[in-house]
């Protein structure tokens, strides 16, 4: 397991802040070992949570042009036929993944191909499981065209706690299933839009792992 580069500044800032705070605690509560011990323990736990959030586990990733892999960890909260209005402008199957603050928050490309479209949208910060979060929250859309010319749309969506969406790619770039596409900080959601003809391999409330779970198969 490694720490993602997006966490370096926040982890460093948290360490400095908590160190200063504990020095103040040491001065104020000197002589009261119980209170001092409790405060130091809470500080260490908080720092551990911050470091844990930015973890990137090592995973064996098998590239497969037919598979649409989960781009993020989380829980399947939506599987339905919709009209994708931003890029496809037509019917597609939407598969949505909700990420809790405990999930790994890095995103990988779900398919191999070429990045043909990226766009950031400003918006609100509804809770990530809200139905309107897909269209009203701050979000970033990425479209990858497979070797067979099939566009796969996936969208990074901010949640009530998420305040920054990071995209590591742009139109014209290469997409590979073992390559990171972005990062969302502190709670969020991912929408994936696949062709109606694709075979869906997941179900509602299923836990999925990025790069490991096959959401659907292209046929």
Active site residue 188: yes
DSSP per-residue string spanning 89-107: -EEEEEEEEEE-TTS--EE
Task: Tell me which of 72, 133, 134, 188 is the catalytic residue.
Answer: 188
124-166-177 Cα angle (round to 5): 120
Residue 216 DSSP class: E
Distance from chain centroid for Cα 132: 18
**Of 174, 153, 64, 156, the residue nearest 106 (C-alpha):** 156
- Compute the distance between CA of residue 139 and CA of residue 201 in angstroms, rounded to an integer: 26
User: What residues are labeled active site?
Assistant: 188
């Amino acid at each position: 397991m490694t720490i993602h580069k997006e966490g370096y500044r926040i982890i460093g800032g948290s360490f400095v802040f908590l160190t200063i705070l504990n020095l103040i605690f040491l001065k104020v509560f000197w002589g009261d070992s119980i209170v001092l011990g409790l405060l130091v323990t809470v500080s260490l736990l908080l720092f551990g949570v911050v470091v844990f959030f930015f973890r990137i586990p090592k995973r064996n990733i098998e590239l497969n042009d037919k598979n649409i892999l989960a781009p993020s960890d989380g829980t399947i909260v939506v599987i339905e036929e919709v009209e994708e209005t931003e890029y496809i402008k037509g019917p597609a199957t939407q598969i949505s993944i909700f990420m809790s603050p405990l999930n790994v928050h890095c995103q990988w490309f779900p398919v191999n191909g070429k990045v043909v479209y990226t766009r950031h949208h400003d918006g609100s910060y509804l809770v990530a499981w809200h139905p309107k979060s897909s269209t009203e929250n701050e979000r970033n859309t990425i479209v990858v065209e497979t070797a067979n010319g099939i566009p796969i749309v996936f969208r990074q969506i901010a949640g009530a706690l998420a305040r920054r969406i990071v995209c590591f790619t742009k139109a014209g770039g290469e997409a590979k299933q073992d390559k990171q596409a972005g990062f969302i900080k502190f709670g969020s959601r991912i929408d994936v839009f696949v062709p109606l003809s694709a075979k869906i391999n997941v179900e509602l409330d299923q836990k999925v792992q990025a790069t490991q779970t096959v959401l659907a198969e292209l046929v």
